[in-house]
Amino acid sequence: MEKEQLENGLNQNRRKFLSKLSLGIGSAALGSLLIPDLFKGGTSPEEELFAQLPHFAPKAKRIIYLFQNGAPSQLDLFDYKPMLQKMHGEDLPESIRQGQRLTGMTSGQSKFPLAGTIFDFKQYGQSRAWISDLLPHTASIADELCFVKSIYTEAINHDPALTFFQTGAQVGNRPSMGAWLSYGLGSENKNLPAFCVLLSKGKGNGQGVYSKLWTNGFLDSVHQGVQFSSGDDPVLYLNNPEGMDRAERRKMLDHLAALNQENYEEFGDPEIAAKIQQYELAYRMQTSVPELTNLKNEPESIVKMYGPECMIPGTYAANCLLARKLSEGGVRFVQLYHQGWDAHDNLPGQIVGQCKDVDQSSAALVMDLKQRGLLDETLVIWGGEFGRTNYCQGKLTGDNYGRDHHPRCFTIWMAGGGIKPGMVYGETDEFGYNITENPVHVNDFHATVLNQMGLDHEKLIYKHLGRRYRLTDVAGKVVKGIIA
Amino acid sequence: MYTRLITGLLSIAFAGLILSMPGCKDSTSSGALPETVSYNFHIRPLMSDRCFACHGPDKNKVKAGLRLDIPELAFAELKESKGKFAIVPGKPEESELVKRISSTYPTYQMPSPESHLPLLTENEIELVKKWIKQGAKFEKLWSFIPPKKAPLPKAKNDEWPKNDLDLFVVKKMEEKGLKPNEGADKERLLKRVSLDLTGLPPSLDLMDRFMADKSDEAYEKVVDELMNSPAYGERMAVHWLDVGRYSDSYGYQDDNIRTQWPWRDWVIHAFNENLPYDKFLTWQLAGDMLPDADKEKILATGFLRNHKYTEEGGVIDEEYRVEYILDKTKTFSKGILGLTVECAQCHDHKYDPISQKDYFRMFAFFNNTPEVGYEGDISVSKPAKAPRLEITTADLDGVLSFIRQLEKDTMMVSVMDELDTLRKTYVLNRGQYDSPTDEVRPEPLSEVMGFDTTAYPRNRLGLAKWTVDKSNPLTARVFVNQVWQMIFGQGIVKTAGDFGMQGDLPSHPELLDWLAVDFMENGWDIKYLVKQIVTSATYMQSSIVSKEKLAIDPDNIYLSHGPRFRLPAEFVKDLILASSGLLVNKIGGPSVKAYQPDGLWEAATSGRGVLATYQQDHGDDLYRRGMYTFIKLTLPPPALMIFDGSNRDQCEVKRPQTNTPLQALVMMNDPTMLEASRVLAEKLAEEQSGSEDKITKAFRLIVCRVPKESEKDLLNSYFSEQLGIYKSQAIDPSEVLNVGEYPHLEVEKSEAAALANVIQLIYNMEESITKT
């Protein structure tokens, strides 16, 4: 009976795929492994699309995206500009600003006094990358990292900028990166979702996140990011209620399968057979997810690496450790968000705490993957939705300043997944205002990430209401210069 | 055997994909070409998909100066190849188009490799050749030609049809070699129609009455009874709330609370009063501009104000003001006209004859409101954004009597208004607020229907009149298709939001037109339309899917069996509450916050505003219908989302239908279901009947039929076993019963706990939350 159910389930998948092409190319590929005849002999364009996936040998199999929500200041962390210290308090020259649009928060300011960072910078590793003293752990692994100093975006406010980074469009209900990957590559395991989301908060000025950022958009909802929580139910509704232990649940599910099977025999609707399968998967998740999310049995060496906070559920450090476990367990895309980087005022005060939250555990994650031999096939990305201005928002003093949003250049880093380690890519002018070398647009970033996963961003398409959609919309070029 | 079945499925379903239309499957998959090749049904879908991106309506993207969407240009001498012609009517062998699509040389073939578009299959190439051979006749897009009632078809099976629409359906089945199913059994039919007309399962009383009524009119009586219940308006409203992207918060990142629910209550009221669809639309689009505008008609215009509003500090006012007008334009075109026109926001539409100018002409109708892009950040947030309608308690005795209670003495709702002096509208280059180019005047899409300025003013009211003009080819078709989709799970046009060139073609074009015309002829009477559908033989068929039917028509496009699909998200909750007796039958009012897993809002919030933390409601508010669940846009209610509910971010006309493990987890562990099981168990435990009768009663309440003997045996033995466990105290029955805030009854705990487990099992049956 189990085989029949499985086949029915696949049949159902196929039916859905064929009629909507939305179940995901990867899952179809999985199906074809199990029942090889299924995909032979067809000649339709859609079928060819499947046959081509992945488009070329992937460098990376999984992604962990450490999103620094609220936009960390590149000028206080990575993009070292002594000129700003020299000209501290002087107005940003118009020759540099060139009338670029400003947010409503600083557009009323009559002056744009430059604010040099108060933090010390040093150079690290073979790339001689400048890194602020705020990030000692990150600095210590500089030879693993590729710093892109020339990324830029089009949005100047948080909501559209975040949405742009996650979905390739500033507005609208488009699928998020993780959903695209789940659609394109499917899940690597049968007990966990392909796309998981972990949230944490720092003490700095926060900007909310929203489920639109991990939406499936017009793709089938199986591709939606599943939000893990730090509470007793790591996945919503996972735990059995009081009085229902695992043996009792098994008994109940056996009765349920019998009732559903009887109904299936009468009605013949493949949805019923698929339903039986989904209950079985749910049952498996009830064991596999808690096993995975339980951090208590991690060895001391690991706790030491990530720092003591990693034992406190819901912290960024705990989420980094959890991300490693999920990724190791075959989750295609793990998305973290850490809030609190939006320092419009009192930046020097706020950024210290934020860096403390993320520095050690971000670096630990990279090194932990490396020691497990997983870094080569896992792409780790660290960065925010835009940068921060070189001029001060509000009152500037000798050692205090705030920075407004700056979309025209900022820094992110990537590690593993076939990205060149130990390099700095792109350059900005001496004011840290404009890009002078190798600009990387958000679309280019997306194209590159897909490329590392073995996907051609121009070919990973989904037709919805008459239009072919891509994560990169109608633009994007793979940044070849950072690929190993 | 299994593999063969699958292979059969494959070839059929793929054929449907190739031309994205069910109507011509046979002609392509089997290799037999249709006798007459139709431009609308065979050629345009193909060309639109593979050619128009570079040789279509987008003037800026036309390559080699060739357009294939207009006959004169397609027949003209090629600009880059003198003496050659893309299409020579009657002569495929001389047509450059045929040579190119048949070629295997990358530098010559079409679609070119750079386009990343799939090549044409052999059958498709043959189809194009035959069309050219037959004279290469172009036609206006089918959906832009006003519908006409075709003569009723004559089917061989004249016994089966109950009303006119069945004639179209059975005729099509005969063409495809299909036969209709037997009628559904009475119990399942009652559950189906009750869910379709009210979103609720039938009560025991209704089940008993209907089963006892052996008269010919029994079914029609039930249909009337259900349609006259207030729950009908709630059921119909759920779809319209998706179209109108209704929510209880402003969206964007701080996402504070808003008060738009009086508009939602008006929608329920309008459906219950059976307000004709033309008025229903007119009021929502321009109720404020009608000569007899009253507060009800103004409230209806909240439709155009339901979209998101930003309260993020530092945004640029005009950027967001434009964003709001774009949303109104999109909602109007997708939800009402069934056209996706967003593409034309940035450039001329690549597939449909809609230029960027056309788009901003339509945009101009909505551009004359006094609303602003940014009223201030969350610290000055109000429950409505200007322009606002003030509702006072006095209004509740007048035209707004459908609003039962106000939260305060005076309430505000966001509605439409017009500026005294016309705001100028410009084409915005690439859709960007800060790149205006040519000035345009308001005008609806002329390709759809001309805009007679002698009859209609050039403003929103004129647009509303144009929309509901009986000559408008789209409005009625789009709505009857939405209603059809609501009932059968998919529309006659599968892409309910796209009646344009890239959309699917209707599976039953004559039926769609007949329904649309009939709907207009009968005064846009929605109840009439719905009744006609649910009293058809097509609807009343059993939903048994035979292997043969599954092989021939896996998606039931030809309707040879009744609809069978999982309930919409809101109605899953309704079924649980109604069957357990917990449902509080109160219409409208502020949305409610029922049980929700802890910490969801808190984890994602910026910490600002009254919705930073989830303050769960208590008492009756826990047991309201699913549609009254509070929708916070940035974190919509998880149980609804898991069952494919709309996130209400944008206008949506069709929900996906998925089947996932997360749904299984909700059904097993959601406190709403656990509490309902407990409450029903305690009620049954109190009754003076045997356990078998109690289980049968629970089964009837939930599954809406009497259990079969095998089902009874299984449930009864599960009950005895569970009872043993609790009696022996192997598990403390209080643990099972200790769920939910609803007061407990003093009953024997072991029995109640065992019953609760049996009821949970019944709720989890696939059939329980499925329309059968």
- Mind listing the pLDDT tens digit for each residue in A385-434? 999 999 999 889 988 999 999 999 999 999 999 999 999 999 999 999 99
CB contact under 8 A, A263 and B647: no
CA separation for the pair B733, B756 (Å, rounded): 10
Which of B418, B449, B467 terminates a domain? The answer is B467
Q: What is the pLDDT of residues B341-372, one digit of tens each?
A: 777 777 777 767 788 999 999 999 999 999 99
Q: Helix B356-366 crosses helix B317-331 at what angle (to 10 degrees)?
A: 100
Q: What's the pLDDT at A52? A: 66
Q: What is the pTM of this model?
A: 0.85
**Percent of chain A's residues with pLDDT above 70:** 89
- Asked if residue A70 has pLDDT above 60, the reply is yes
- Asked if residue A57 has pLDDT above 60, the reply is yes
CB contact under 8 A, A237 and B597: yes
Same domain, B42 and B115: yes
Q: What's the pLDDT at A28? A: 36
- Asked if residue A453 has pLDDT above 70, the reply is yes
Burial of B494 (0-12, 13-18, 19+ CB in 10 A): buried
Same domain, B309 and B242: yes
Same domain, B119 and B268: no
Mean pLDDT of chain A: 87
Distances (CA, A) of A251 to A11, B162, B231: 27, 46, 38
At B481, give phi and psi (nearest 5°). -70, -40
Structure tokens, B582: 């917990």
Residues constituting chain A: 484
Q: What's the pLDDT at B476? A: 98
The pLDDT-based confidence of A50 (bands split at 50, 70, 90) is: low
Q: What is the pLDDT of residues B709-768, one digit of tens each?
A: 999 999 999 999 999 999 999 999 999 999 999 999 999 999 999 999 999 999 999 999
- Asked if residue B7 has pLDDT above 50, the reply is no
CA separation for the pair A58, A453 (Å, rounded): 5
Q: What's the pLDDT at A388? A: 97
Q: Is A36 on the interface with B (CB under 8 A)?
A: no
- Residue B172: inside a domain, yes or no? no
Q: What is the pLDDT of residues B398-453, one digit of tens each?
A: 999 999 888 888 999 999 999 998 999 999 988 889 899 999 999 999 889 999 99
- Residue B741: inside a domain, yes or no? yes
For B732-739, the CB contacts below 8 A with 24+ separation are B732/A243, B733/A243, B735/A242, B735/A243, B736/A241, B736/A242, B736/A243, B736/A244, B736/B678, B737/B678, B737/B681, B737/B682, B738/A242, B739/A241, B739/A242, B739/B671, B739/B674, B739/B675, B739/B678
- Asked if residue A44 has pLDDT above 70, the reply is no
CA-based nearest residue in chain B for residue A207: B606
CB contact under 8 A, A268 and B7: no
- Residue B170: inside a domain, yes or no? no
CA separation for the pair B246, B252 (Å, rounded): 15
Mean pLDDT of chain B: 92
**Residues in A touching B314 (Cβ below 8 Å):** 103-106, 156-157, 404-405
The pLDDT-based confidence of A139 (bands split at 50, 70, 90) is: very high
Residue B511 near residue B169, CB atoms below 8 Å = yes
Q: What is the pLDDT of residues B75-104, one digit of tens each?
A: 999 988 888 999 999 999 999 999 999 998
CA separation for the pair A465, B140 (Å, rounded): 20
Please enumerate in sequence order all residues whose Cβ is within 8 A of that of B4, keeping only pairs 6 or more positions apart, or say none. Answer: none
**Residues in A touching B710 (Cβ below 8 Å):** 262
CB-nearest to B661 from A199, A252, A285 is A285
Same domain, B613 and B695: no
Same domain, B629 and B673: no
- Residue B728: inside a domain, yes or no? yes
CA-based nearest residue in chain A for residue B323: A171
CB-nearest to A208 from B255, B597, B711 is B255
Nearest-neighbour CA in chain A from B666: distance (Å): 6
Number of domains in chain B: 4
Q: Nearest Cα to A342, choosing from A97, A33, A69?
A: A69
Return the exposure string of B446-478: e unless at least 16 CB atoms fall within 10 Å of the residue's CB, then b.
Answer: ebbbebeeeebeebbbbbbbbbbbeebbbbbbb
- Residue B221: inside a domain, yes or no? no
Q: Considering only A202-211, B132-141, B468-477, which range has the smallest mean pLDDT?
A: A202-211
Same domain, B591 and B728: no
CA separation for the pair A450, A455 (Å, rounded): 5
Same domain, B95 and B236: no
Residue B255 near residue B634, CB atoms below 8 Å = yes
Q: Is B738 on the interface with A (CB under 8 A)?
A: yes
- Asked if residue A363 has pLDDT above 90, the reply is yes
For chain A, positions 313-352, list CB contacts with chain B under 8 A: 314, 339
Q: What's the pLDDT at A478? A: 97
Q: What's the pLDDT at A49? A: 55
- Asked if residue B184 has pLDDT above 90, the reply is yes
CA-based nearest residue in chain B for residue A232: B598
The pLDDT-based confidence of B673 (bands split at 50, 70, 90) is: very high
DSSP string, B102-165: H---TTT-SS-GGGTPPPPPHHHHHHHHHHHHTT------GGGSPP-PPPPPP-S--SS-SSHH
The pLDDT-based confidence of A441 (bands split at 50, 70, 90) is: very high
Alpha helices, H only, A134-269: 136-140, 158-167, 177-185, 246-267
């009696």: which residue's tokens?
B727
Q: Is B566 on the interface with A (CB under 8 A)?
A: yes
**Residues in B touching A244 (Cβ below 8 Å):** 736, 757
Residue B747 near residue B686, CB atoms below 8 Å = yes
Structure tokens, B322: 């434009």
**Residues in A touching B342 (Cβ below 8 Å):** 172
- Residue B472: inside a domain, yes or no? no
* Cβ count near A88 (within 10 Å): 17
Nearest-neighbour CA in chain A from B236: distance (Å): 24
Q: What is the DSSP letter of A147?
A: E
Same domain, B280 and B414: yes
Q: Considering only A121-125, A348-352, B426-430, which range has the smallest mean pLDDT?
A: B426-430
Q: What is the pLDDT of residues A206-261, one digit of tens each?
A: 788 888 899 888 887 778 888 888 777 889 999 999 999 999 999 999 999 999 99
Q: What's the pLDDT at B81? A: 86
Q: Which of B380, B660, B720, B771 would best serve as a mutation to test chain A binding (most A beta carbons within 10 A)?
A: B660
**Residues in A touching B10 (Cβ below 8 Å):** 14, 18, 38, 41-42
The pLDDT-based confidence of B31 (bands split at 50, 70, 90) is: low
CB contact under 8 A, B658 and A46: no
Domain extent at residue B83:
2-139
Q: What torsion do the CA atoms of B666, B669, B671, B677 make, to the nearest 10 degrees?
A: 110
Same domain, B619 and B754: no
The pLDDT-based confidence of A51 (bands split at 50, 70, 90) is: low
For chain A, positions 124-183, list CB contacts with chain B under 8 A: 156-159, 171-173
Q: Is B17 on the interface with A (CB under 8 A)?
A: yes
CB contact under 8 A, B736 and A242: yes
Structure tokens, B4: 């063969």
- Residue B520: inside a domain, yes or no? no
Please enumerate in sequence order all residues whose Cβ is within 8 A of that of B706, keeping only pairs 6 or more positions apart, or say none. Answer: B187, B696, B699, B700
Q: What's the pLDDT at A141? A: 98
Please enumerate in sequence order all residues whose Cβ is within 8 A of that of A278, keeping only pairs 6 or more positions apart, or say none. Answer: B659, B660, B661, B663, B664
Same domain, B331 and B405: yes
CB-nearest to B121 from A43, A286, A405 is A43
CA separation for the pair B437, B291 (Å, rounded): 35
Structure tokens, A182: 């789940």
Tell me the residue type at B654.
K
Q: Is A210 on the interface with B (CB under 8 A)?
A: yes
For chain A, positions 104-123, list CB contacts with chain B under 8 A: 104-106
Q: What's the pLDDT at A8? A: 41
**CATH 3.40.720.10, domain A62-230+313-482, yes or no:** yes
Same domain, B318 and B428: yes
Q: How many CB pairs under 8 A join A and B?
A: 283
Helix (H, G, I), strand (E, B) or coil at B16: helix
CB-nearest to B118 from A45, A207, A252 is A45
The ipTM assigned to this model is 0.89
Please enumerate in sequence order all residues whose Cβ is within 8 A of that of B405, keeping only pairs 6 or more positions apart, or say none. Answer: B396, B589
Same domain, B626 and B700: no
CB contact under 8 A, A18 and B255: no
Nearest-neighbour CA in chain A from B657: distance (Å): 8
CB-nearest to B661 from A45, A278, A314 is A278
Nearest-neighbour CA in chain A from B116: distance (Å): 7
CA separation for the pair B524, B475 (Å, rounded): 11
Return the exposure string of A226-260: e unless at least 16 CB atoms fall within 10 Å of the residue's CB, then b.
Answer: bbbbbeebbbbbbbbbebbeeebbebbbebbbebb
Handedness of CA B404, B408, B410, B411 (dihedral sign): negative
CB-nearest to B663 from A235, A270, A278 is A278
Q: What's the pLDDT at B345? A: 78
Handedness of CA B79, B82, B87, B88 (dihedral sign): positive
Q: What's the pLDDT at B26? A: 36
Q: What is the pLDDT of residues B105-129, one digit of tens each?
A: 988 999 998 888 889 999 999 999 9
- Residue B223: inside a domain, yes or no? no
**Residues in B touching A243 (Cβ below 8 Å):** 731-733, 735-736, 753
Q: Is B254 on the interface with A (CB under 8 A)?
A: yes
